[in-house]
């Protein structure tokens, strides 16, 4: 034995994100692939989530899922915050079956998403023509194109990446089974820095099936996203680049 302690996957991911996203230029293709590969080996248990157990059951109280979030027992969309700094954020969304995150955007952001467990139905669009309403009080409105046919992301699957102007910057999720998605956002959402999360209503164009009109809408009243504590390995930010 050499006495060394194996680094957790989340620590490795954190350090890689710090290195790549603290540079003042967009990540290279190689760096994107590196991060995709790092995310690609994550399993639910690596972020403190038990994909099989039902917390509170007689068996779970006495074995290994103690101290973990149990996906099967989640009844509302739940966000588990893992880390945030100026350059990026890391977190996990847990969905009950049928849970839906309506169409929303990621302004100026690159987002890596890895489905850790379960399956989710995804619709994704990119702006073609966006009406600039930043100097007025009117709602954001524009024409968007469908990125691809609607898809089902089912674990295990490749890490998906969306970019500021391509890859499906505006998307919606509907969970087909209980599921969990590990997200890395760079830079993070920030109302103060002009990167709010905006939700959209969608209007199909019958004559142009690959295009839709999107109009900003209020936060859906029936959307509930609750928070839960992160129960996985802690990140050592001792070498924080942020
Ligand atoms: Fe999103």
| Structural domains of the chain in order of their starting residue, each with its CATH number | 9-232 (2.60.120.10)
Q: Which two tokens stand for residue 180?
A: 């969990």
How many whole angstroms separate alpha carbon 176 and alpha carbon 203? 24
Contact present, 122 and 171 (Cβ < 8 Å): yes
Strand partners, 181: 93, 115
Number of Cβ within 10 Å of residue 130's Cβ equals 14
Examine the pLDDT at 35 and tell me if it is beyond 90: yes
Centre of ligand 1 to C-alpha 208, Å, is 25
Per-residue pLDDT of 115-160, as tens digits, reads 999 999 999 999 999 886 666 667 889 999 999 766 899 999 999 9
How many whole angstroms separate alpha carbon 136 and alpha carbon 14? 38
First to last CA, the chain: 34
pLDDT of residue 169: 96
pLDDT of residue 54: 57
How many whole angstroms separate alpha carbon 170 and alpha carbon 168? 5
Instruction: From residue 57, give the alpha-carbon distance in Å to each of 66, 118, 164, 230.
Output: 11, 21, 44, 21
Centre of ligand 1 to C-alpha 185, Å, is 9
Cα 34 to the center of its chain, rounded Å = 18
Centre of ligand 1 to C-alpha 105, Å, is 6
For the residues 175-180, what does the mean pLDDT come to? 95
For the residues 56-63, what does the mean pLDDT come to? 42
Strand partners, 84: 89
**pTM as predicted:** 0.88
For the residues 9-29, what does the mean pLDDT come to? 93
Can you give 17-40 as a three-state secondary structure string? HHHHHCCCCCCCHHHHHHHHHHHH
Centre of ligand 1 to C-alpha 108, Å, is 13
Centre of ligand 1 to C-alpha 68, Å, is 24
For the residues 199-220, what does the mean pLDDT come to? 93
How many whole angstroms separate alpha carbon 157 and alpha carbon 116? 8
Centre of ligand 1 to C-alpha 115, Å, is 13
Q: What percentage of residues in the chain have a pLDDT greater than 70?
A: 87
Q: Is 125 left (phi over 0), alpha (psi -120 to 50) or beta?
A: beta
pLDDT of residue 26: 83
Average pLDDT over the chain, rounded to whole?
88
pLDDT of residue 52: 75
Centre of ligand 1 to C-alpha 138, Å, is 23
Examine the pLDDT at 42 and tell me if it is beyond 70: yes
pLDDT of residue 62: 39
pLDDT of residue 63: 41
């Amino acid at each position: 034995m050499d006495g060394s302690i194996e680094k957790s996957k989340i620590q490795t991911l954190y350090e890689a994100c710090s290195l790549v996203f603290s540079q003042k230029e967009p990540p290279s293709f190689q760096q994107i692939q590196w991060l995709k590969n790092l995310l690609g080996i994550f399993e639910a248990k690596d972020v403190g989530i038990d994909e099989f157990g039902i917390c509170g059951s007689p068996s779970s109280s006495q074995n290994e899922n103690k101290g973990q979030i149990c996906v099967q027992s989640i009844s509302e969309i739940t966000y588990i915050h893992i880390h945030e700094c100026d350059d990026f954020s890391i977190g996990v969304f847990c969905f009950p079956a049928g849970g839906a995150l309506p169409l929303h955007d990621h302004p100026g952001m690159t987002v890596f998403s890895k489905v850790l467990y379960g399956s989710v139905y995804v619709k994704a669009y990119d702006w073609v023509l966006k009406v600039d309403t930043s100097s007025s009080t009117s709602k954001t409105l524009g024409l968007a194109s469908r990125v691809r046919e609607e898809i089902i992301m089912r674990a295990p699957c490749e890490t998906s990446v969306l970019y500021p102007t391509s890859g499906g910057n505006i998307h919606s999720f509907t969970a087909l089974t209980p599921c969990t998605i590990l997200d890395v956002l760079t830079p993070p959402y920030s109302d103060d820095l002009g990167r709010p999360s905006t939700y959209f209503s969608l209007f199909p164009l019958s004559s142009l099936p690959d295009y839709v009109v999107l109009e900003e809408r209020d936060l859906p009243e029936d959307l509930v996203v609750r928070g839960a504590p992160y129960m996985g390995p802690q990140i050592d930010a001792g070498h924080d680049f942020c």
